[in-house]
Amino acid sequence: MKANRSALSLSTFLFSIALSINAVASDDLPEITEEGLHKLKDTNLGLVYAQPDADLNVYNRVKLLEPSVAFKKNWQRDQNRSYSFKVKASDMERMKKGVAELFMEVFTEELSEGGYELTEEVGEDVLLVRPAIVNLDITAPDVNTPNRSYQFSESAGEMTLYVELYDSATGAIIAKAMDRKRDRDRGYMQWQTRVSNTQAAKRIMKEWAGTLREALDEAHAATSSE
């Protein structure tokens, strides 16, 4: 229960940071959190905190929780002001479900290819991964409308990953990270469809999944070379 309350408070804290991520610099954040996590430098992600003695080498299996997904603040209002079509709550729920399912697909594929078993169990060799996608900003959403709508933009949009890593057996937090990524700006307008939006999201997620896989690989390689 204590671990769950701690996770909730941490999620709330970093979620509030993610909402104003453009205005918050990493240098303004504490070097050490209340849980004793230390801010790491020179990482592949925007912000990473970890236990000083964290050892991912012991984890051969991963319990990946489905991510919660939240749109950027006022995203629906801004979309409905900008376009003739209207984004409905049902559209947003469909898109959030699609993002969560794609996240699970991409991370499962990447970790499985790395030799890490995905499991629903807890155990001493199981790493618990609790992710969330926040600040989801789809520039030109493909919504269900009576008439075919064509949406054009230079980029599909952006999203921010917030993730916590836990020892599944003890519930102890190992690390947490946050990273904002934007789809590439092409420099010209392009027709955005549901397919192209999905492809853009998948490219971003593969980078995040690859980062987690590389962290596990490096931990195992370091131990095997000793």
CA distances (Å), 69 to each of 23, 111, 137, in order?
21, 21, 11
Please state the φ and ψ torsions of residue 171, each to the nearest 5 degrees. Answer: 80, 5
- pLDDT classification of 122: cutoffs 50, 70, 90: very high
pLDDT score recorded for residue 28: 74
Q: What does residue 35 show for φ and ψ, rounded to 5 degrees?
A: -85, -5
User: Is the predicted pLDDT of residue 31 greater than 50, yes or no?
Assistant: yes
76: enclosing H helix or E strand: helix 75-82
Are the beta carbons of 38 and 31 closer than 8 angstroms? Answer: yes
The predicted model gives 49-65 an average pLDDT of: 94
Q: Give the pLDDT score at 196.
A: 80
More confident residue, 226 or 173: 173
pLDDT value at position 86?
A: 84
Mean pLDDT (whole number) for 44-59: 92
Q: Is the pLDDT reported for residue 205 higher than 90? A: yes
Which of the residue ranges 1-15, 81-95, 137-151 has the most confident prediction, judged by mean pLDDT? 81-95
What is residue 144's predicted lDDT score, i.e. its pLDDT?
A: 62
Task: Tell me which of 226 and 198 has the higher pLDDT.
Answer: 198
pLDDT at 74: 92
Per-residue pLDDT tens over the stretch 160-190: 999 999 999 999 999 999 999 998 655 544 5
11 pLDDT above the threshold of 50: no
What is the residue-averaged pLDDT of the chain?
82
Q: What is the mean pLDDT of residues 58-78?
A: 95
> Which DSSP letter does residue 182 get?
E
b/e sequence 8-30, b meaning 16+ C-beta within 10 Å? eebbeebbebbbebeeeeeeeee
Task: Copy the structure tokens of residue 74.
Answer: 């006022």
187: its two tokens: 């420099």
What percent of the chain clears pLDDT 90, i.e. is strictly above it?
Answer: 58
pTM above 0.85, yes or no: no
More confident site: 26 or 100: 100
Q: Which of 29-33, 70-74, 222-226 has the lowest mean pLDDT?
A: 222-226
Query: Is the distance from CB of 29 to CB of 47 less than 8 angstroms?
Result: yes
Q: Within 10 Å of residue 224's Cβ, how many Cβ atoms?
A: 8
Pairwise CA distance, residues 220 & 222, whole Å:
5
Tell which wins on pLDDT, 145 or 13: 145
pLDDT number for residue 79: 86
